[in-house]
Amino acid sequence: MFLERTLIACIVQGADYMDAQRVRSRMVDEMKSVWEKHDVLVTVGAGPAPRLDPKLAAWPSLNRFSPFAVLGAPAIVVPAGYSEAGLPLSIQIAGKPFEDANVLGVAHAYEQATNWWLQRKPDLSSFKPPAPIAWDPPHPSTAGVDPGIVSLCERAVRSAGLHLTEAQLAILCAAAPHVLEMVQRVGAAAGTAEPASIFSFPPAG
């Protein structure tokens, strides 16, 4: 998983990053009308912990936390109860950019009102662990991969100054189609707007 999510940076060019920042700028602007009406947004947080499985590392995957990171909006996750199986649940509280203190205040007020953090469930005194997880390590290979994808990845790796094994190159080749699709989609929506600068404090007044 670590290799997959770092090697894909070879494929993303500087121009692609600028396009992403232009789309990000538009997203930040579109959220302004939401922040004018609401001090915070409450969304789902992490659900019950899933059984450990290699599929958990699959990419791309849905992430309910990334949108607020992209928007430069402070967010926090707090306990919100337990599932029927006794596993902890949470909610996510997000707020306006640079209003971290307000988000922390709302989260603190919620925790004090619910006291979920004081409860110690489930009772594990009679818990029986499940059978050990059988895991067969993957053996990635470029065999059968589109030659155009392999060639593109090889060029990207050379340009980055990396020296990959066959298995490492195969990991990049497997993720490349998803990255290329994402880059194409972002590029088509980028337009000519100024790139986002969401980490700069807004002008006073």
Q: What is the mean pLDDT of residues 42-58?
A: 78
CA angle 157, 160, 179 (to 5 degrees): 60
pLDDT on residue 39: 95
CA 82, 122, 109, 98 dihedral sign is negative
SS3 41: strand
How confident is residue 173, by pLDDT bands cut at 50, 70 and 90? very high
**Residue 73 scores a pLDDT above 80:** yes
Number of neighbouring beta carbons within 10 Å of residue 186 = 18
**Residue 106 scores a pLDDT above 90:** yes
**Residue 200 scores a pLDDT above 90:** no
pLDDT on residue 199: 61
How confident is residue 7, by pLDDT bands cut at 50, 70 and 90? very high
Place of tokens 């009102």: 113
Q: What is the mean pLDDT of residues 49-53?
A: 74
Residues of the chain with pLDDT > 90, as a percent, come to 52
112: left (phi over 0), alpha (psi -120 to 50) or beta: alpha
**Residue 17 scores a pLDDT above 80:** yes
Strand partners, 42: 93
Strand partners, 44: 91
Q: What is each CA distance from 190 to 107, 142, 180, 199, in whole angstroms?
A: 35, 33, 15, 19
Selected residue with higher pLDDT from 193 and 16: 16
Cα 110 to chain centroid, rounded: 25
How confident is residue 94, by pLDDT bands cut at 50, 70 and 90? very high
Among candidate residues 47, 49, 48, 54, the one with its CA nearest the CA of residue 133: 54
Q: What is the mean pLDDT of residues 40-48?
A: 90
pLDDT on residue 86: 77
Q: What is each CA distance from 16 to 9, 142, 173, 185, 190, in whole angstroms?
A: 11, 26, 19, 10, 9
